[in-house]
Amino acid sequence: MKLLQLGGFATLVSAIGAVVPGSTSENHTYDYIVVGGGPSGIITAERFAEAGKKVLLLERGFGPTVATGANETLAWDPSLTPIDVPGLSTAVGSTDLWEKYICTDTAGQAACVLGGGVTVNYMVFVHPPDRDFNDKWPQGWKWHNVKSAADRLYERNMGSTLPSQDGKRYDQGLYTVLSNFFHRIGWKSVDMLIQPNEKHRVYSYPAWNIKDTMRAGPVRTYLPLAQKLPNFRLRMGTKVQRLVRSGSQITGIEVETASGHSEVIMLAPHGRVVLAAGALSTPRLLFNSGIGPKKQIETAQKSGVTVPPLHEWINLPVGVGLKDHPIFSIVVQTNGTFEMPDPESLLNGTDVGDVQLYRHKQGVLTQGKHRLIFFTSNNVDGQTRYYQGSCAPSGDGELTITAYMTHGLTSSGVVGLDMNGNTVMEKSPYLQTAGDRKAASAFIQYMIDEITAPSTGFQLKTYTNTSAILGSLTSGIHWTTTAKMGTDDGRHNGSSVVDTNTKVYGTDNLYIVDGSIHPDLPTGNIQAAIMIVAEAAAAKILAQN
């Protein structure tokens, strides 16, 4: 079995030009080693390679598309996997792929597959408004600084509110009912892709991470460009354990291969390492490398990791400041005519009509899960807090509003490490402040009042009052701020782990580019903001001599 898997791996990676395990490869020669092939890692590595640098991208998982080696194809099309087809994004969770792709060692949900969270997510693609950067990001990261990075991203990965190539929207029953409702209560219809700054009492057709009727994202929109370059290598099935340091200098990376072997990849003397393992895994890599609160490094040591000698530990507030969007569920029975799609018949191809349309790049399978997205804000204590509602059918005439509390929230939590090497939640990031609790209650009460007004004909289901809806709280899976960027050096009682060039304080050549460094949460789903920050960070790092 092991041998078979190894054989499969070797074929798989050599087919896409990656390093075959066991073979000798250049050592001491990489200008950049990027750890983690999620959206941040792929974008950063691709931009480095494009600039002529010699780049190694290390990813612990495997490829989710046929082009990147996956063989779990659809019964009705051997060139596609379930993650490719937008209309199947709701079905991926019920396939074996989910278990294969979701990390088992993180404090909350994250994906351990090439493409990271963007490979498995519901594809909601929110272009961030200017204020998301202008409020709390440091100088050099305000919207006027990062706008060109956003333009570079959108040029390759714009998102779409109208993916079907016949120019039609499909399955619009929910949109009809809910847009009428919002129109009656005085909200405004906007195009969220074209009007990103409109985030108060507005609704829109959903914007999805879709290009050419397929799931987009860096695996499709950046990686192929890098793979054309001789100075770029992707190595999958390679889990980074820790950095090897000589004081403030990173000299190598210890990895565990798919077959369980440990190996050290040496870095060129001028080389740099970029951690892009995601906000819940990058902290582990830092703790394992002697960077973070003393308590966490000691846990890493006790769990068997070879950490640097005590005098080389760098005391930084890694893991402190964890943020996420909390989700509240509001389930509404309407008088509309719409129903839940049947993922099974779409997966197995028995829904012949929709499959046939999709072959012509049309129809409901070209669309994501949601049918309407709204935004609003409130201010109960002098602080403006934003909300996003992603609305999808959940039964006959029944819809579920996934209501996120977003930009402006004031709560944060803490991520630590346990003896098994898992990152764990030491303090929840949700509703920790009185202001956040009051604001969330006020928002929910407002929604209940509008939804249950007699003229609507709507009825709440499952959660029928404010406290029940507050109690439905789940993770938004938009983790940030576990290695915060800022000018207040965390070694000297500040709150920041990386400087405004994304370099880790107290190191010469270690950078972080992923959700960890975001000092604040965006107003909507986070992936577009993650990608913009990666574009901007790659440029800043390259500009540093």
Ligand X SMILES: *[C@@H]1O[C@H](CO)[C@@H](O)[C@H](O)[C@H]1NC(C)=O
Ligand Y SMILES: Cc1cc2nc3c(=O)[nH]c(=O)nc-3n(C[C@H](O)[C@H](O)[C@H](O)COP(=O)(O)OP(=O)(O)OC[C@H]3O[C@@H](n4cnc5c(N)ncnc54)[C@H](O)[C@@H]3O)c2cc1C
Binding positions for FAD are 113, 121-124, 240, 515
The tokens for 276 are: 């892009």
Q: Which of ligand Y, ligand X, none has residue 348 at its interface (CB below 5 to 8 Å by kind)? A: ligand X
CB of 498 to ligand Y, least distance (A): 14
**Chain residue whose CB lies nearest ligand X:** 8
Nearer to ligand X by Cβ, of 146 and 399: the residue is 399
Residue 236 binds ligand Y, judged by CB under 6 A: no
Nearest distance from residue 39's CB to ligand Y, in Å? 5
Residue type at position 85: V
60 binds, among ligand X, ligand Y, none (CB under 5 to 8 A by kind): ligand Y
Structural contact between residues 16 and 68, judged by C-beta atoms closer than 8 angstroms: yes
Secondary-structure percent of the chain, ordered helix, strand, coil, rounded to 5: 30, 20, 45
Smallest separation (angstroms) from ligand X to the CB of 140: 22
| Residue 464 near which of ligand X, ligand Y, none (CB within 5-8 Å, type-dependent) | ligand X
Q: Which tokens hold the place of 471?
A: 């109690």
Stretch that binds ligand Y, among 105-113, 229-237, 407-415, 490-498 (CB under 6 A): 105-113
Q: Least Å distance between CB 434 and ligand X?
A: 20
Please state, in angstroms and rounded to a whole number, the distance separating the CA atoms of residues 40 and 59: 12
Q: Which of 19, 49, 58, 536 binds ligand Y (CB under 6 A)?
A: 58
Per the CB < 8 A criterion, the answer to whether 461 and 451 are in contact is no
Task: Calculate the CA 536 to chain-centre distance.
Answer: 17
Closest to ligand Y by CB, 208 or 463: 208
Smallest gap from residue 209 Cβ to ligand X (A): 26
Residue 114 or 477: the one with the smaller Cβ distance to ligand X is 114
The yes or no reply on residue 46 touching ligand Y (CB under 6 A) is no
Element (H, E) at 329: strand 326-333
Greatest distance between any 2 Cα atoms in the chain: 72
> At which residue do the structure tokens 């996420």 appear?
324
Q: Which of 136, 148, 123 is nearest to 209 (CA)?
A: 123
In a 10 Å sphere around its CB, with 0-12 CB exposed, 13-18 middle and 19+ buried, how is residue 326 labelled?
buried
Catalytic residue chosen out of the listed positions 127, 325, 478, 518: 478
Task: Give the CA distances from residue 215 to residues 77, 204, 274, 489, in Å, rounded to whole numbers and listed in that order.
Answer: 16, 20, 26, 39
- State which of residues 13, 18, 21, 39 lies at the interface with ligand Y (CB under 6 A): 39
Least distance between ligand Y and beta carbon 531 (Å): 8
The CA distance from 512 to 243, in Å, is 13
Q: Which of 15-23, 117-125, 168-176, 430-438 is the region at the interface with ligand Y (rule: CB under 6 A)?
A: 117-125
Residue 298, token pair as written in the block:
């000691």
Torsion of Cα atoms, 515 then 521 then 526 then 532, to 10°? -70
CB of 280 to ligand X, least distance (A): 26
Stretch that binds ligand Y, among 116-124, 127-135, 323-331, 371-379 (CB under 6 A): 116-124
Which of ligand Y, ligand X, none is residue 52 near (CB under 5 to 8 Å by kind)? Answer: none
Give the distance, in angstroms, between the CA of residue 112 and the centroid of all CA atoms in the same chain.
Answer: 11
Question: Residues 461-500 vs ligand Y: string with x where CB under 6 A?
Answer: ----------------xx----------------------
Single residue of 82, 196, 237, 278 touching ligand Y by CB under 6 A? 278
Q: In which residue are the tokens 């129109």 written?
A: 183
* Residue whose Cβ sits closest to ligand Y: 38
Q: Is 478 a catalytic residue?
A: yes
Query: What residue 112 binds from ligand Y, ligand X, none (CB within 5 to 8 A, per partner kind)?
Result: ligand Y
Least distance CB 535 / ligand Y (angstroms): 12
Q: How far apart are CA 323 and CA 485, in angstroms?
A: 14
Counting runs of H as helices and runs of E as strands, what totals does the chain give? 16, 21
CA distance 360 to 365: 11
DSSP for 16-63 reads: TT-PPTTS----S--SEEEE--SHHHHHHHHHHHHTT--EEEE-SS--
Of positions 31, 46, 59, 499, contacts ligand Y by CB under 6 A: 59
CB nearer to ligand Y: give 307 or 355: 307
Candidate residues 97, 202, 240, 327; the one interacting with ligand Y per rule CB under 6 A: 240
Q: Which is nearer to ligand Y, 55 or 277 (CB)?
A: 277
Residues at the contact surface with ligand X, assessed by CB under 6 A: 4-5, 8, 12, 24-25, 27, 71, 263-266, 335, 342, 344-345, 348, 350, 455-457, 464-465, 467-468, 493
Pick between residue 55 and residue 526 the one whose CB is nearest to ligand X: 55
Torsion of CA 17, 230, 213, 531, to 10 degrees: 110
Distance CA 264, CA 27 (A): 10
**Site membership for ligand Y, residue 157 (CB under 6 A):** no
Which runs of E-coded beta strand occur in 173-284?
A: 188-189, 202-204, 210-211, 214-215, 232-235, 238-246, 249-257, 262-266, 272-275
Residues forming the annotated binding site? 113, 121-124, 240, 515
87: helix, coil or strand? Answer: helix
- Nearer CB in complex with ligand Y: 255/347: 255
Residues of this chain that bind ligand Y (CB under 6 A) = 35-41, 58-61, 109-113, 116-118, 120-124, 239-240, 276-279, 281, 285, 477-478, 514-515, 525-527, 530
Point out the residues that are catalytic: 478
